[in-house]
Structures are given as structure tokens and as C-alpha cells.
A and B are shown apart, each in its own frame.
Chain A
Amino acid sequence: MNLSRKFVTVFAVFTMIVVPLVPVMLHAQDCPTAQDNYVIGFANLTEDIVFTQLVREGILAAAEEAGNVEIVLADNRLDGATALANADNFIAQGVDGVIEFQTDEAFGNVIMSRFRREGIPVIAIDIPMPGATFFGADNYFAGRLAGEALGEWVNENWDGEANAMLVLELPQSGPIPAARMQGMEEGFQETVEVPVADDMIFRLDSKNTQEESFQVVSDTLPTIPDAEKIVAITINDGTALGVIAAAEAAGRADQIMVVGQGADPSGQEAIVAENSRYLGATGYFPELYGFQIIPAMIDLLECRPVPPAIYVNHIFINQDNICDLYAEAWPDFCPAS
């Protein structure tokens, strides 16, 4: 082997080893936030709600699974000023990235300006913040899933026609719950063979409580004495349970079928109940949020492309599939496989 062949061989080997590393080396130079281990701050919306507790547990589990992520926790206590103080603490602690779950839009701008100044990437859960990657519910789609399921049920069981529709909404809470309700209503009306007439659609303010939905439905049922096929679309599980309780109290439970949003444990219990009038609910799976958020945050920190909005993988949960998802929670309903 002459010198030139040796040189060519060495050059070829060198090229094969080094060339693939060039983009990595260049990338590392271009990505100042990339490290072997990360400290990520997570400021939860509140610790008083099961939903947010599950979000926190999921994030901790996902961080442990990732292996190189340490989570610093804070509680925003449903308060913008507290969220701002937590943001300042995160900056002082030198976190690499932040997951924000906070409710105050005005404070969101201030919080984001601080993080931007420090070059800290942020993922905002459920409530968008300017400049942050959004993660959360696809509200219209989630609503639509439930509405379509209800429409299919009516087609199969009530000859494709319902006499009246109760819409248990939350008008004071703005566009997010409105998108859910719009999705449910449109999903139902476009699926069912005979859409419910406008004058038989009753829009009721649930005020997000079981008691209020119980009362407004109790007040509405006497106005539709001849309706024997009533559908109800509801903003969440609690509201759905209030509707069912009102129908039961009025002795008209067999005339109503309800869908909702959330599928939290109380909703699941109503879904698996015997002769249930709760057809099902769209699942939001807060316990799984972390398993989408942590990889996305690592991608952000390592300068890989991340879409501006990442949505929860919603599924409509009913008696047919609840055992695939929550068999351990309902051993009496789900036969051991």
C-alpha cells in the first residue's frame, strides 16, 4: 500500500467518523441551552384541584423517565401575582426551561418578557402565553368527539331524532369552554339524522357547578313535558352529573342521554353505572400531559423544531373502551383479562 492510498484510507475513515459529527458540533455551538442535564421549573395552576395534581404527578413521572431532568416545583395558586413571583424565583434559581400553568392573561405578558430576557424557553399549559409553546386541550375537537358520539347513539337508539337539546354551558368563562360547546353542538347536529330544531335547544348557564346545573335543568324540564328524547351536552363531568340528577329527581331519567368533557373519576363512575344515562366524556388525560411536555421541552432546549401548539390526544371514553384505559379503577365493571 503506497503513501497516497494510505492517505486516502485515513482520509476516508476520518471523513466517515467526523463528517456525521459536524452537524452535531455545529448544532451544539448554535444551541447554547443544550446540556447533558436540565433543571426545569414547573409552576402548577393550583394544588387544590385533582386535575392539576394529576398534571404535576405526570410531569414528575415523565422527568424521571427522561433520566436527565430535575423538576423544581411551584404553586401559582390561581393568582397572577403569585405566578410572577414564582417566575422570578425560577430565574433566580437558574432553571433551564419553564413549564407554566397559570391563569392570568395580563400577568402572562409580564412573565414571558422576563423569561425572554433570560433566554429561558417556556411551555404554557392550557392558557396561551405570548412567545411560549402552547400545550393543552384541543377544545373544539374534544367537544366534537363527544357530540358525534351522542349523535351516533341517537341514530342507533332513538331513530336518529331527539326532541330537545340541553346545552349546559359556561358563558362567563370566555372562548375556551365556548369552543368545547360549539364542537359538541356542531358534532351532534351534523351527525344525527334529524337535527334538533333551534327553538328546542335550551342554553343553560351551568355556572360550572353540579347544583346549578341540577337547578336549571329542573326548571327547564317542566317546559318540555312532551319531550321523551332529550339530549344534553355539558361542559364537564360535574355539570353532567347535575343534569342526570335533575332528570332522575323529575322521574325522567329514561328520557335523557348526556355527554360531557373530562372523564375524571366521578365521571367514570357515572359512565360505568348500571343503566347509565352518561354516555361518556371526552378524556383530557392530565396524568399524561408530562409525557408530551417533557420531551417537547428537551427538544426546545436542544434547539430541535417544536410546533407552536401541541395538543392533547383526546379520546371519547364510554363503556366500550373505559376498560382499555382505566380497568384497574373499575374492577367490578371490567372483567379481568
Chain B
Amino acid sequence: MQKTAPAAPSTGVMPQLGRWLRGERLTTLNLFVTFVIICIIFASQAEFFLTLENFVNIGRTLGVVGIVSIGMTLVLITGGVDISVGSVAALSGVVTSILWLNYDVSLGVATIVGLLVCTLVGFINGYLIAVVRINPLITTLASFSIIRGMAFVLSNGQTNQLNDEAFKFLGRGEIAGVPVSLVLMIVLYIVFFFIMHFTQFGRNLYAIGGSADASRLAGIAVRRHLLIVYTLSGFLAGLAGIIIASQLASSAPRAATGLEFTVIAAVVLGGTSLSGGKGSLIGTLVGVFILRVLDNGLVQTRVSSFYQDVVSGTVLLLAVGFDQLRLQLTSRFGGKS
């Protein structure tokens, strides 16, 4: 994709409005307002929505999607996609449980090996995409299938219990009343926010997503960047899988089924473009919160699960649709976005 040169700044109310509308901050602000509106609606309908216990619960069940969404945001910003994250998450739990239960390996070491295996899967994805130059969708769709199959083969289709109090602390424990998985997720968001906005590596990812060819010509090591991004995505999916296993105190080859769709929905809702070059981790974080609060509120207001799917899909469509409308208004009043 070729980038067009930015239009020269112009004066007047309409161009200024256009520039304001075009801003990424506004996307995030819109999302935040949407989030607050959703919270107000549920608070008026569900008696226990605005309680500390419920917020702790939301925090506890947010980490998995939140952490995988970091990797997916990076991948989408580069113009790629990673469909394999759910399968990779399942694999990490399966590998950890098998090493712990069937071999003389401590749970800590088993967890590290599980994470390393997932990191390796991410690296292989990255290698196939960046070096062999297979389409990201095809590559990760294939690994989605292969890795899920491996999880079944390794576990023989069985769910394994992981009853270890220290292990359960990651998924269920709290630090000063805040769920550990939420703390971990926030730390990761801070780290990756810094990387994306204050390092050359982060800026290069946006450039690659805008135009890989132009980035290559500009001297950016595109292959290396893509390799790192997919490796990170594999690592983060593996970490999410460990959190799932810790929360459930068990590992199952079917774990995290459909996680990839929830994660992509959250990231796109957060304003990241599927065509690359645009997106932010703050937006992703708000997108993750919106989807989680929607699920929570709909359960608490006892809406049928069939309607829950309808509502979640509609909110996604409305949010992305309004954002597209805003961008169209932007180009109408103040040049291209």
C-alpha cells in the first residue's frame, strides 16, 4: 500500500474540525464515552453492577483477552493477523500440565517450558510470514489447526487438573485487593505502550503497516520486526494460556476456543485498522474493557445468551461504523486521514 503525502495544514474552522476529528485520541475518547454509557446503563439495570466484588470479578476475568490483545494490536498494526492465538494459549496449558504431571519437572519449570514452546510457535509463524513470505492469514490459520491438533495429541483429549496453590495464585490471587492477572496485564500495557510510542521499534511497526515496501526502502529491517512481533504474539498467547490454566486449575486442549475472534473484536473496537499502520494500545485496552463489561452486564441483567451475542456484535459494528463515519467526515472537512 502506498502512503500519500500528508496534506499541508490549512486554516479555517472546517479544516480544524477535520484535524480534530482525525485525531487518534478522539477515537479513544469516543470509546471511553461509549464505555461510560454502557456502565451507566448497566448500573441502572443491575443492582450489583457497581459493587467492589463485581469490579474485582471483571478485573480477574479481563486479563486473558487483555494480554493476548497486546500482541494482536502489534500484529494488526504491521498489517498482519494472528489467528493461532487461541490454539497457542491452549498449548501452553497442555504442555505445562503434561510436564508437571507426567515428568519429574517442577510446576515453575513446566510453566517456563510451556511459555517457551508458545514463543517458538510465534517465532515459526513469524519466520513463515516474514522470511518465507506466506500470507499471515494462511500461515496462522494453518498453525491454528496444527497447534490445536498438537494440544489434543499431547493431552490425548483429556483435561488435566493443576491443583497447586502457588500456580493458582496467578489466575485467582490478589495483590492489595487487585487481581494478579489484572496487575500483570496493566504492567504489560505500560511496557508495550512505552515501546510503541517511545522507541524506534514501535514507530517502525506503524511504518511497516503503512507500507512494508516503503519501510524496506527507508532502511527498516522489516523481516526482523515481523519476526519479533509474531514471536511476541506467541509469547503473550502462551502467557494468557497459563492464566487460563491457573484460573481453572486445569488444562484442556479445548481451552481458549474462539479466543482469536474475541481478541480481534476488542482490538478493532479499540480503533486498530485491519489494513495496518493505525492503532493504539490505549484504544485496545478500552475495547477489551467494553467487551468484558458488556458480557458481565448482560449476564447480570439476565439477558438470554442468544441476545448477548447479538448485542456484542451490534456494539462492535456500531463502534467501528461510527468511527468510519467520523473518518469520512474527516476527509470531507479536512483532507484525507
Contacts and interface: CB of A to CB of B under 8 A. Distances in A.
A171 B309 CA distance: 13
B51 interface: yes
A219 B250 contact: no
A270 B249 CA distance: 11
Contact of A245 (B53, B158, B247): B247
A249 B161 contact: no
Given A210-B248, A211-B256, A241-B248, A216 B299 contact: yes
Contacts of A218: 57, 60-61
Interface string B298-337: 0110101110100000000000000000000000000000
B254 interface: yes
B213 interface: no
B54 interface: yes
Interface in A212-247: 214-216, 218-223, 225, 237-238, 241-242, 245
Contact of B48 (A49, A210, A225, A249): A225
Contacts of B250: 210, 241, 245, 266
Contacts of A241: 159, 248-250
A265 B252 contact: no
A269 interface: yes
A270 B161 contact: yes
Interface in A156-171: 171
Interface stretch (A31-39, A73-81, A201-209): A201-209
Given A50-B156, A211-B256, A249-B60, A223 B48 contact: yes
B10 interface: no
A240 to B, nearest CB: 11
Given A218-B61, A223-B47, A249-B172, A211 B248 contact: yes
Contacts of A53: 157
Given A210-B255, A273-B163, A222 B54 contact: yes
A19 interface: no
Contacts of B295: 215, 219
Contact of A209 (B51, B53, B156, B257): B257
Contact of B57 (A49, A219, A242, A269): A219
Given A48-B152, A50-B156, A50-B158, 20 more contacts: A204-B299, A205-B305, A210-B159, A210-B252, A211-B248, A211-B256, A218-B57, A219-B54, A220-B299, A220-B300, A222-B300, A223-B47, A225-B51, A238-B159, A245-B248, A249-B171, A249-B247, A266-B159, A266-B160, A269-B161
Contact of B46 (A50, A223, A242): A223
A5 B94 CA distance: 84
B316 to A, nearest CB: 18
24 contacts: A53-B157, A171-B305, A171-B306, A205-B305, A205-B308, A209-B254, A209-B257, A210-B248, A214-B247, A219-B296, A220-B299, A221-B57, A222-B53, A222-B300, A223-B48, A223-B300, A238-B252, A238-B254, A248-B168, A248-B249, A249-B60, A266-B158, A266-B161, A270-B161
B157 A49 contact: yes
Contacts of B46: 223
A270 B53 CA distance: 27
B130 interface: no
A250 interface: yes
A285 B54 CA distance: 40
Interface string A248-260: 1110000000000
B244 interface: yes
A205 B308 CA distance: 10
Contacts of A220: 299-300
Interface of A: 48-50, 53, 171-172, 202, 204-205, 207, 209-211, 214-216, 218-223, 225, 237-238, 241-242, 245, 248-250, 264-266, 269-270, 273
A77 B299 CA distance: 34
B246 to A, nearest CB: 10
A215 B157 CA distance: 23
A245 B299 contact: no
Nearest to A170: B305
Contacts of A248: 168, 172, 249
B57 A222 contact: yes
A334 to B, nearest CB: 17
Contacts of B249: 241, 245, 248
Given A211-B244, A249-B247, A48 B299 contact: no
A48 B157 contact: yes
A286 B61 CA distance: 34
B67 to A, nearest CB: 14
B299 to A, nearest CB: 4
Nearest to B302: A202
Contacts of B299: 204, 216, 219-220
Of B60, B152, B304, B305, most buried by chain A (CB within 10 Å of CB) is B305
A290 to B, nearest CB: 19
Contacts of B244: 211
A311 B162 CA distance: 35
Contacts of A237: 159
B257 A50 contact: no
Contacts of B257: 209
A39 B126 CA distance: 50
Nearest to B305: A205
Nearest to A171: B305
B172 to A, nearest CB: 4
B61 A215 contact: yes
A167 to B, nearest CB: 12
B57 A250 contact: yes
Shortest beta-carbon contacts, A-B, top 6: A205-B305, A266-B159, A219-B299, A222-B54, A249-B172, A222-B53
Contacts of B159: 210, 237-238, 241, 264-266
